[in-house]
Amino acid sequence: MTFDVVVVGGGSAGCVAAARLSSTGRLNVLLVEAGPDYGGLEDLPADVADSSAPTTDHDWGFVSEPDEAGRVTSLPRGRLMGGCSATNGAFLMRAWPQDFDRWVTAGNPGWSFDELLPWLRDLENDADDHDGWHGRCGPVPVRRTAYDELAPVHRAFVDSARAIGHPLVLDHNHPPRDRGRPVAAQRA
């Protein structure tokens, strides 16, 4: 069997690249992944299914070089189809508009936030979008955890932050118009 393209690594980037390249049916694409492929959500082993616990059996086991005191830090990296996307916290954060705009300033036309926004929207299937800022038809389901869904410890954290004056941010991916500040502060 011959292939037009070989994608090495079925992680976040590799899966998207292989899916897009093969979607027209014109290219024969081989996706090579070092770890297992479990297919559906219901088949996931416990250490992958529970994102609040560290992944044990599906990790490369990398650690940092020791620092001056000899301490090492674990550097988790998923080893399975989906890569780190299969083991990560599943938080969806767009980069800040000013980060994209810096790419343009560095000589990369076409990478401004305004030019990329349609692509960011196309990724999302946002259940909470009310003003068209987000996408509703993309492959990535997005929802925000409601206050009453939070665990007591998380609720206490939110309450404490609000009590000392931090505003509640309902959508971290909705920048303010002036784009000069990092977060959209929408007061509840």
Ligand X SMILES: Cc1cc2nc3c(=O)[nH]c(=O)nc-3n(C[C@H](O)[C@H](O)[C@H](O)COP(=O)(O)OP(=O)(O)OC[C@H]3O[C@@H](n4cnc5c(N)ncnc54)[C@H](O)[C@@H]3O)c2cc1C
Contact footprint for ligand X (CB under 6 A)? 8-14, 32-35, 76-79, 83-85, 87-91, 93
- Least distance in angstroms from the C-beta of 34 to ligand X: 4
What span, in angstroms and rounded, lies between the C-alpha atoms of 188 and 159? 13
Residue 88 or 125 having the CB closest to ligand X: 88
Which residue of the chain is nearest ligand X when measured via CB? 11
**Residue 12: partners with Cβ closer than 8 Å, 6 or more residues away:** 82, 83, 84, 85
What span, in angstroms and rounded, lies between the C-alpha atoms of 81 and 7? 12
Residue 37 or 149 having the CB closest to ligand X: 37
Residue 142 or 175 having the CB closest to ligand X: 142
Sign of the torsion angle spanned by Cα atoms 10, 15, 18, 22: positive
- Least distance in angstroms from the C-beta of 6 to ligand X: 10
What span, in angstroms and rounded, lies between the C-alpha atoms of 135 and 122? 6
Residue of 52, 48, 138 whose CA lies nearest to 85: 48
- Least distance in angstroms from the C-beta of 175 to ligand X: 17
- Least distance in angstroms from the C-beta of 139 to ligand X: 15
Residue 83 or 135 having the CB closest to ligand X: 83
Residue 97 or 173 having the CB closest to ligand X: 173
Is there a contact between 39 and 82 (Cβ–Cβ < 8 Å)?
no
- Least distance in angstroms from the C-beta of 162 to ligand X: 23
